[in-house]
Amino acid sequence: MKLIKNLEKELMTSTLFLYLVFFIAIFNILLLVQLKFYVYVVLFIVLSLVTYSGFNQKNMIMVLLVPIISINLILFIRNIFVLEYNYNNYHKVIEGNQEYL
């Protein structure tokens, strides 16, 4: 338990880890812009601002990690439902066309 707390403290104050999280955040934003998911870019910015000012979190690692994890989780869930919806509609179209063959 002490090892985990010690590791957490060292990780949250590491400048190398901050740079890593920063580059992941920039990459994430650029990818969202390229895919034209502008709503998620705005949500990323809003979550960062809420984390920074709303929770009085001054640790930039946490300010960047919260929106990264949140946005990627939302996109993951969205993709699951979109793929399932497309899969079900594809099979409905195939089944409907078999009657006419």
Task: Note the pLDDT of residue 31.
Answer: 95
Residue 2, both tokens: 């002490």
Task: Note the pLDDT of residue 72.
Answer: 95
Whole-prediction pTM: 0.76
Q: Report the b/e string of 59-93 with b at 16+ CB within 10 A.
A: ebbebbbbbbeebeeebeeeeeeeeeeeeeeeeee
Tens-place pLDDT, residues 6-35: 777 888 888 999 999 999 999 999 999 999
Tens-place pLDDT, residues 28-84: 999 999 999 999 999 999 999 999 998 777 889 999 999 999 999 999 998 888 776
**Cα angle vertex 66, ends 58, 12, to 5°?**
50
